Structure 1
Amino acid sequence: MGGEDHERRAPFQAVVLADSFNVTFRPFTLERPKALLPLCGVPMLEYTMEFLEAQGVEEAFVFCCAHYDQVIDQLKKKWKLRHKDDEDAPGERYVTGRMKVVPIISTSCVSVGEAMRIIYDEGVVSSDFVLITGDTVASFDLKSALAEHKRRRKADKSAIMTMVVKRAETRALRKRWGDHDLVLQIDPDTKQVLGYEEEPNNKNYVNVDVSSCFLDRSQVEIREDLVDCYVDVCAPEVLGLFQDNFDYQNLRRDFVGGVLSEEELGNKIYAYELSPGVEYAARIHNPRSYDAVSRDVWAHWLFPIEVGQTRAFTSRTHNAGIVRRGIQDCMQDAGVSASRSVEVGNDCQIGEGTTIGDNSKIHASFVGKGCRIGRNVELNCCHLLDGVNVADGARIHFSMLSDGVAVQEGAVVSEGCLLGSGVVVGKDHVVPAFSRVSVIRQTQEDSDSEEELESPAVVEGAAEEAKEGEAWDATLVGEGGKGLPWSAKSSQTRREWRRHSISPHYAQLEAAGMAGALPETSDGEDRSDDSETDETDSEGLELDPEEVFHSEVRETFLRCVKERFDQTNALIELNALKIAEDRTFADCARFIFTTIVGLCFPVAKTVSKEYKDLYASDSLDLADKLHRAKFLKHLKSLLSEWGNLLQRFLKNEDDQVELLLTFEEYCSDDGVFHAENGSMCAEGFCQVLQLLYDSEVISEEAILSWAEEKESAEEEDKVFLEKARPFVAWLAEADEESDEYSSEEEGEDSDEG
């Protein structure tokens, strides 16, 4: 009875690992912990802490090692010291609201296992607790996961851990978040995890221990559509298991793998799956996931936490001032100065005090505070931290620049680069793609292990301050530049860097499963060094980026249909894909539309089998009036459901014309549609055109512009214009009558005057 009373009185506790536990952000993390890198202008750690407090956590123990002083300073700023509670557990507590924050510091910790042992030795965790990293961004019902864990624990004390996972049906989505391929073996009834395998050696089969998996159950699910969120609900006994296993480098591969393999101990791990499209959680492993999660936050996936609201609850720290979100979905803080000739596109964030010169173009980029952007600058899908200086005519693509970086006049930073604090790129110089540059001299190359703990000793051993007057690498940063290469130990690590960069070109290879086939040059570098390099598969055939993107849009839209997403969530999913792949709204619209049309016919061979049931079961011959009527009825129903979504992606008349040109390709089985069965729709082209017009997806002006453009084409390219002539002629005639009527009205008005 007393034990039950203690359990009821025990506070809701969390352990936050605020150290990097990997080296994927070097050289950025040589001078600050990864958990304090800004995400949409707010340190990652603050998202983690806000999530925990919002979910009712009462005590949070924050473990910090490398750069611990910066973490403590941040805790003091955000979790403002109101009073010191000397009666509680040892340690300095920073109190705000309900949650008490206790830092646990170690300057000599060298592994995550040792960190867990240190926390155990502190003796501060007294009940079931949440284990989370300080680079995790989340918005889901944590209390529900805790309640499910407690129910299991009440029935079975061997249920020591519940892992939070989320569903990502396509490989492209998993790669977008920078995650490894993961295969889980799960009991579908109890959700017990029976197997956990990252980066399986063979993609075609999974090793299942039949004798143990089927001992007490009749079926096992093999799940490759799940992403590990790295949020766990743990029993207190979990910390004790690290007493003898303090050398564990990876909580998943070493600890989870160890628990699952040591069946004689009887410990069990379970999975808690988030509701798709409703709940969100992601850990920021590397630059790719940093970019993806930034855009997820921007696209409101963390609702009810909004970007503006996030900056509002941190404004006492950042002094962000007034936050404005423009009509183009661009948010800028107070004090931003930009001329009217500046083009700031969708999905941009501009920090306080930043200035932007004439005729500069900024697209899908996050710019920190106090940056100086010159004239005629191009920023494309970049992350610039505070105080970056970009001179006139410079161009930066798909790269991350740390505090105080300077890019001189006419210089180019190619895709996939990471430039550490204080780096200077010389005038007119081109930084090679995927370069990592630092003003801190590297003394040992990064190893192949991503799980190396960045303790003070490790950081000091990997780098040292550049000596006064040391020559910089002019081949890397140009004449007048300032920087040294940060290199990897092996070609395997270099490939990992490329794989985990924010480059869309490597992402396309990843999505198609062909990235591993990139050959290497004689100097050991991969041959994907710049954006002009041809992308090839293992047979030397060119990989068509258009085909890859078409497949990703189709799979994403089909998932929205299958899971019955509403218009808002579907828009968020597809818009995030557009941003990640640096595509236009029209690019998305045309592939969404051809996918909608395709649903009216039997499933094509190129579509995943899991979506087969969404497609029509019967073949149709549209030359037959009954078949054509059936097809048009089905398409009309789909357009009534998804027409508004199409309209959101069709921004202007040119976009609508582009959609019609793509529909021609679809009906001809041309290009990326060569295996789509689109030719089955050719006989109904005119009627589809009319249906698009009636549904207000395509305007009269767009149809007439398309027809006018086709009139000057070669005869063989007028096939669909001829099919559509009756409807085009009717539109043109109606347009003329409307003009005549308007002229008559104007004449009558003038006569009366």
Structure 2
Amino acid sequence: MPPKNSIIKDNLPSEDEHEPLQAVILADTYNERLKPLTVEKPRVGALCLLPICNTTLLDWTIESLSLAGVQEIFVVCTAHADLIKETLAASKWSQPSSGLKITPIVTATTCWAPGDALRDVYTHGVITSDFILVFGDLVSNVRLDEIVKIHKARRKVDRDAIMTIVVKEAGTEQRSKPLGDGGIFVLDADTNECLYYEAVPGLPLKKNIHIPREIFDKHPNVQVRNDLIDCGIDICSVEVPSLFQDNFDYLDIRRHFVHGILTSDLLDKSIHCHVVENGYAARVKDSKSYAIISNDILTRWTYPLVPDENNPSGQAYEHRRGNVYLPPNNSSVQLSRSCKIGNNTLLGYNTKISDNAQIIHSTLGNNCSVSANAVIQDSYLWDDVIVEDGCVIEQCIIGKGAKILRGSALSRGCLIGDGVILGPNAKLDEFTRVSTSPPVDGEDEGSPKYLGPKSNGIVWPSLGFTSQEQDESDEENETVDELEAAVNIRLLRIGDETHLSDLQRHEPDSSSSSEEDSDAGSSIDDNASTRSSTTSAVEPTLGSKLDAIAVAEFTSEVSASLERAWTEGHTVENAAVELKTLRMASNVPLRRVREAIVRFLVMKIESGNGKNGGEVREQIRKVVGRWGGLIDAIGGVDAVETIEVLQELCAREPQHLSLFGSLLAALYQEDIVEENDVRTWHSKPESRGKTAADVNVAVKMDRCWSIGSRMIEQFDAQDSDDEDSDE
């Protein structure tokens, strides 16, 4: 972990009471990842006005700045400026008691990039001191006022230190490291000065980076870090807006402005990073981060920014067991006695839930109605949504006023725009996008029959193409933005569960290019005056260590969830829903979930305390019979991997070794593994421990293999008996 700059902290200046802390919010979105949700009118035309946990993103952002001690905010807006001004005027922030002065800055309709917006800020001349720069999609509880003090102290020593980027280590407390929207920071380990920055898309996988040689000549202690989450918060000097006068075409603060400053031969300016140790900060930039941040709010990672406290919408909620949020005293909700409200769920005012309906890990806006036997899971419904009898909605976002008519099923990843009607009996495939308006480019699929006979929806093209289509697109457009390319945007959709290991495993031509990549990674290009990092940019040693921390934290959360399910007698289906939600938030491989479940089952078996073999086998039968189905219920059924996980656990923890045979037999009896699965596992060299680094573990894995051999002998004997009986 980078050392703290104690010299700066020990010389913090006293805060000038006459200089208000200013902030600039860029309200516009400059990507299309959430369309069609961001094109509907009148309420959600701008991303910052989208509701998250029934409160607009802009309100969450302003509340975040208010908690940080900001006194004056400038909201820069182009699209839907009138709506944004109306929203601000009607909010609590317009009251004199709020302690905030908020001024909208309406830019020209031709403003199309952050650089253009900040140039307008400069021309208005409203920034009088160092300020905080954020987008209107931020949710944060970080004490930014302390970081501002550190930034100002640094500026007293070095007037060329114009910006401090707020970052957070992945795997400590923030659980959501974006797979398709990351970056590599090269830092001076002594001062945290940012020496180089490079964006890292999920695809194509980046094998190495090229760092200017001069960096190593000037800075003897350099860190290359891909374990840092960009919080989307910058502390800027008063001169930063002026730098956009000639660079108003910068499309991205990081990739263009920061990169431009760090590589400029004319500007002798420096940028630093501040690694926060506590707190939460994340931006809603796509549907996947929308789901993750919604869940983080409900599970109180953002405290005190939670629905029942510091709720900027002005609506009150009660926090109940299992992170269920309801209006006070159920005063405005109608809940059937037979309906089920699962953990991590928020119900808005005037919501009605009918008989046997299930709402699990979801948020419902105000005035929503869910009819009998409907199931809503890991989904987000905005105001005035109607869901009729027997509908199933999983990992979807449903816009305001939409109607899902009886018998309809929406698969994971669907985005349904405002006012859309689907059904009856609509069947939507994964990642379908539906709106009442056609896309701007006119390329839509019309209103196919699967939307239902009463539908008014128009199907938009899916986000992401096949690899071949993407290649053809790239050939036609050599300047395609890697982060906004369709193949990368696919990773940022709600419901997409792709993990880094999946990308590495399925990357095309990885073997044929490995030698070339290796050569490139160890060479020095004298003409370019660059030195290549010899560490893989996608998986450096430090990143691997922090990944291990993230896995450990995830395992702890899963253990707590399973223990609660065991104690409270949850169904396997409900336990699986919670585990899938945890996995989605933590972005760990599916194998890690399987490992946690197998460990939990094994730990519930008491083999000691004088119990004989028969008693232990009976206990195994009961535990596996009751909970074994959870292994497959989490998705991605892989029985061979289940056996591998069980074998590795028993080999690494000898106290469980004697249970391997009985557990394997119980899994077989419960149809969790089949005969062919056992044979496939047994035939793999790894099953004999030949690849294990620890000799003791290898020996115990071989013992498990021998137990499996006896099971296969029984299979063979049974087959022989069956043949004899047939004769």
1: distance between equivalents of 2:67 and 2:102? 14
* Cα contact 2:405–2:425 (8 A) shared by 1: yes
Match of 1:58 in 2: 71
Correspondence for 1:26 among 24, 30, 35: 35
Match of 2:303 in 1: 303
2: distance between equivalents of 1:45 and 1:51? 10
2: distance between equivalents of 1:430 and 1:660? 27
The change in CA–CA distance for 1:202 and 1:335 in structure 2 (over 3 A counts) is closer
1: distance between equivalents of 2:270 and 2:102? 30
Correspondence for 2:502 among 512, 528, 533: 512
Cα distance, 1:512 vs. partner?
Answer: 2.5
Q: Which amino acid aligns with 1:307?
A: P
Alignment RMSD: 4.5
Correspondence for 2:61 among 42, 45, 48: 48
Structure 1 runs not aligned, ≥5 long: 83-94, 447-462, 464-470, 520-550, 600-627, 629-652, 663-667, 689-702, 724-753
1: distance between equivalents of 2:35 and 2:458? 13
* Cα contact 1:56–1:98 (8 A) shared by 2: no
Is 1:327 aligned with 2:336? no
Is 1:160 aligned with 2:155? no
Match of 2:82 in 1: 69
The change in CA–CA distance for 1:257 and 1:111 in structure 2 (over 3 A counts) is same
Correspondence for 2:206 among 203, 206, 210: 203
* 1:552-581: CA deviation from partner (whole Å, max 9, x where unpaired): 99763425899x9x999x99xx99874244
Q: How does 1:547-562 map to 2 (within 5 A)?
A: 556-558=550-552
Cα distance, 1:133 vs. partner?
Answer: 0.8
* 1:160-188: CA deviation from partner (whole Å, max 9, x where unpaired): 0000011114999555x465132111111
The change in CA–CA distance for 1:500 and 1:669 in structure 2 (over 3 A counts) is closer
Cα distance, 1:324 vs. partner?
Answer: 3.0
Q: How does 1:588-667 map to 2 (within 5 A)?
A: 591-592=595-596, 658=627
Cα distance, 1:106 vs. partner?
Answer: 2.0
* 1:185-214: CA deviation from partner (whole Å, max 9, x where unpaired): 11111101111111266533221112x212
1: distance between equivalents of 2:505 and 2:641? 28
The change in CA–CA distance for 1:660 and 1:74 in structure 2 (over 3 A counts) is closer
Match of 1:360 in 2: 357
1: distance between equivalents of 2:451 and 2:210? 48
2: distance between equivalents of 1:373 and 1:330? 17
* 1:126-148: CA deviation from partner (whole Å, max 9, x where unpaired): 11000011100001121221111
* Cα contact 1:393–1:409 (8 A) shared by 2: yes
Is 1:481 aligned with 2:455? yes
Cα distance, 1:480 vs. partner?
Answer: 1.7
Cα distance, 1:237 vs. partner?
Answer: 1.0
Higher relative contact order (CA 8 A, sep 6+): 2
Correspondence for 1:16 among 11, 21, 25: 25
Q: Which amino acid aligns with 2:192?
A: K
* Cα contact 1:160–1:237 (8 A) shared by 2: yes
Match of 1:182 in 2: 183
Cα distance, 1:310 vs. partner?
Answer: 3.6
Q: Which amino acid aligns with 2:414?
A: C
Cα distance, 1:389 vs. partner?
Answer: 0.9
* 1:471-497: CA deviation from partner (whole Å, max 9, x where unpaired): 961345232211112236973554445
2: distance between equivalents of 1:498 and 1:391? 30
Match of 2:100 in 1: 99
Cα distance, 1:54 vs. partner?
Answer: 1.6
* Cα contact 1:488–1:494 (8 A) shared by 2: no
Paired residue secondary structure (2:240): helix
Structure 2 length-normalised TM: 0.68
Q: Which amino acid aligns with 1:676?
A: E
2: distance between equivalents of 1:304 and 1:654? 39
2: distance between equivalents of 1:166 and 1:134? 19
Indicate the larger mover: 96-105 or 163-172: 163-172
Is 1:288 aligned with 2:288? yes
Q: Which amino acid aligns with 1:508?
A: T
Structure 1 length-normalised TM: 0.66
Paired residue secondary structure (1:257): helix
Cα distance, 1:154 vs. partner?
Answer: 0.7
Q: Which amino acid aligns with 2:447?
A: D
1: distance between equivalents of 2:164 and 2:578? 29
2: distance between equivalents of 1:67 and 1:46? 16
The change in CA–CA distance for 1:218 and 1:560 in structure 2 (over 3 A counts) is farther
Match of 2:429 in 1: 432
Q: Which amino acid aligns with 1:13?
A: Q
Q: How does 1:213-252 map to 2 (within 5 A)?
A: 213-252=215-254
The change in CA–CA distance for 1:495 and 1:206 in structure 2 (over 3 A counts) is closer
Correspondence for 1:380 among 377, 390, 396: 377
Q: How does 1:420-499 map to 2 (within 5 A)?
A: 420-444=417-441, 473-475=447-449, 477-487=451-461, 491=465, 492=470, 493-499=485-491
* Cα contact 2:464–2:488 (8 A) shared by 1: no
Paired residue secondary structure (2:162): strand
2: distance between equivalents of 1:657 and 1:51? 45
The change in CA–CA distance for 1:149 and 1:371 in structure 2 (over 3 A counts) is same
* Cα contact 1:164–1:274 (8 A) shared by 2: yes
Is 1:123 aligned with 2:125? yes
Q: Which amino acid aligns with 2:148?
A: L
The change in CA–CA distance for 1:75 and 1:474 in structure 2 (over 3 A counts) is same
* Cα contact 1:476–1:485 (8 A) shared by 2: no
1: distance between equivalents of 2:98 and 2:435? 41
Match of 2:691 in 1: none
1: distance between equivalents of 2:33 and 2:555? 36
Paired residue secondary structure (2:134): strand
1: distance between equivalents of 2:420 and 2:263? 47
Q: Which amino acid aligns with 1:483?
A: G
Aligned residues: 564
Q: Which amino acid aligns with 1:427?
A: P
Cα distance, 1:414 vs. partner?
Answer: 1.5
The change in CA–CA distance for 1:515 and 1:368 in structure 2 (over 3 A counts) is farther
2: distance between equivalents of 1:567 and 1:710? 24
Q: Which amino acid aligns with 1:142?
A: L
* 1:57-115: CA deviation from partner (whole Å, max 9, x where unpaired): 11111111111112111111224544xxxxxxxxxxxx443321111112412221110
Match of 2:339 in 1: 342
Q: Which amino acid aligns with 1:73?
A: E
Indicate the larger mover: 96-105 or 127-136: 96-105
Cα distance, 1:508 vs. partner?
Answer: 3.3
Cα distance, 1:288 vs. partner?
Answer: 0.3
Paired residue secondary structure (1:314): coil
The change in CA–CA distance for 1:427 and 1:213 in structure 2 (over 3 A counts) is same
Match of 2:407 in 1: 410
The change in CA–CA distance for 1:517 and 1:370 in structure 2 (over 3 A counts) is farther
Is 1:194 aligned with 2:203? no
Match of 2:650 in 1: 678
Structure 2 runs not aligned, ≥5 long: 1-12, 471-484, 510-544, 565-575, 609-621, 632-639, 679-702, 708-727
* Cα contact 2:27–2:76 (8 A) shared by 1: yes
Provide the identity percentage: 28
Q: Which amino acid aligns with 1:327?
A: R
The change in CA–CA distance for 1:324 and 1:553 in structure 2 (over 3 A counts) is farther
Q: Which amino acid aligns with 1:165?
A: V
* Cα contact 2:56–2:313 (8 A) shared by 1: no
1: distance between equivalents of 2:128 and 2:602? 57
Paired residue secondary structure (1:513): helix
* Cα contact 1:445–1:488 (8 A) shared by 2: no
Q: Which amino acid aligns with 1:12?
A: L
